[in-house]
Structure 1
Amino acid sequence: MTFNTRNGTRGGRQPKAGRLMTWFNTRVARKVRRNGKFGGMDALVLTTIGAKSGTERTNPVGFFQPDDESWLIVASAAGAPRNPAWYYNIAAHPERVQIELAGRKLPVTATQLHGAEREEAWRQITAKAPRFAQYQVKTDRELPIIRLTRRTVTDRTA
């Protein structure tokens, strides 16, 4: 599946990348590693490879788990008009993604959901976390839903 969600023209305020956001993400990631929660949601630490820099990047993100071998994350950026930077990192390197969850580092492959599969996932996500429906109202871009599927050693390309 393709990663093709365009930025919107309206939405909530998106924090600028910089020292403050790096500090904040580092602190939140530390908390997520300890207890698996942030902002009242189940959370994981997402590690991607920078689309432009090639540098490893980590971000704490909320997740939804439809089964034992995959996790769903939403590139909401709290309803900002632009997709979060990690979305572009995943799009550039979908096979070089890793998550940290419950004290374990797991290699995963990322795919963006589309069509009926996305709609069903969206219904489940907004039923569990209504704040995502509020984020969608803020922006005119369709919030991307990404499925992270556990990779086995044999399909590891990173």
Structure 2
Amino acid sequence: MAPGVRLIQKVSSTRTFARIAPHVIPAMDRTVHRLTRGKVLLSARMLPGLILTVPGARSGQLRSTPLACMPENGTEQSWILVGSNFGRTGHPAWTANLLAGPGKAVVNWRGRDIPVRATLLQGAERDAVWQTALKFWPPYATYQARVEREIRLFRLERQGDAAT
């Protein structure tokens, strides 16, 4: 575990963090990502991260959101996204966008745009991935305890030519 990770996990579990972080962290990530032409994502210094771009569920306009992710199996073929919304009440908007257009998403992973298909995980599969997510980032348990909704989990799988 990287130095300071436990401290950051404690801080990220607080209600104050949940109020402030959604406004600050994505804005910083988007700016740095744009300025470095996709090479740097600040929040990825703590957790792996990507930029998800998907058409808005209602507007159809492309929406780009920096998100923490769990790469699966050490490959660049699939990722898990956790719709925790920092433990706030509603589902994050990007989850509705993925539900509306599961095959229209693109991730920017390590500076490369990769078309993906999103699948909402449910049942036993969701339960197993949730346990992995809790080991990956324990504050997810605090976020879930804070809200009545079930936190959405998505698997994003690379579409098209895997060599791209």
User: TM over 0.5: same fold?
Assistant: yes
> Which one has the bigger helix percentage?
2
User: Scaled by the length of structure 2, what TM-score is found?
Assistant: 0.76
1:138 corresponds to which of 108, 129, 146: 146
What whole-Å deviation, never above 9, does each CA across 1:59-103 have from its counterpart, x for those lacking one?
000000122211000111011111011111111111100000111
User: Scaled by the length of structure 1, what TM-score is found?
Assistant: 0.78
Q: CA deviation at 1:36?
A: 4.4
Distance in 2 between the 1:24 and 1:135 partners?
17
Provide the residue aligned with 1:77 in structure 2.
Answer: 85
Distance in 2 between the 1:36 and 1:125 partners?
20
**Which letter does structure 1 place at the counterpart of 2:71?**
Q
Query: Secondary structure of the residue that 2:48 maps to in structure 1?
Result: strand
Query: Secondary structure of the residue that 1:38 maps to in structure 2?
Result: helix
Provide the residue aligned with 1:129 in structure 2.
Answer: 137
Q: Which is bigger in relative contact order (C-alpha 8 A, separation at least 6)?
A: 1
RMSD over aligned CA atoms reads 2.4
Within a 5 Å distance, the mapping from 1:76-115 to structure 2 comes to 76-115=84-123
Query: Secondary structure of the residue that 1:148 maps to in structure 2?
Result: strand
Q: CA deviation at 1:26?
A: 4.2
Give the gaps of 5 or more residues in structure 2.
Answer: 1-14
Provide the residue aligned with 1:45 in structure 2.
Answer: 51
Distance in 2 between the 1:72 and 1:36 partners?
17
**Which letter does structure 1 place at the counterpart of 2:47?**
M
Distance in 2 between the 1:24 and 1:137 partners?
22
Query: Secondary structure of the residue that 1:34 maps to in structure 2?
Result: coil
Distance in 1 between the 2:156 and 2:124 partners?
18
Aligned length: 138
Provide the residue aligned with 1:156 in structure 2.
Answer: none
Within a 5 Å distance, the mapping from 1:3-82 to structure 2 comes to 21=23, 25-31=26-32, 33-38=38-43, 40-67=46-73, 68=75, 69-82=77-90
Distance in 2 between the 1:102 and 1:45 partners?
9
Preserved contact between residue 48 and residue 71 of structure 2 (Cα < 8 Å) = no
Provide the residue aligned with 2:7 in structure 1.
Answer: none
Q: CA deviation at 1:35?
A: 3.1
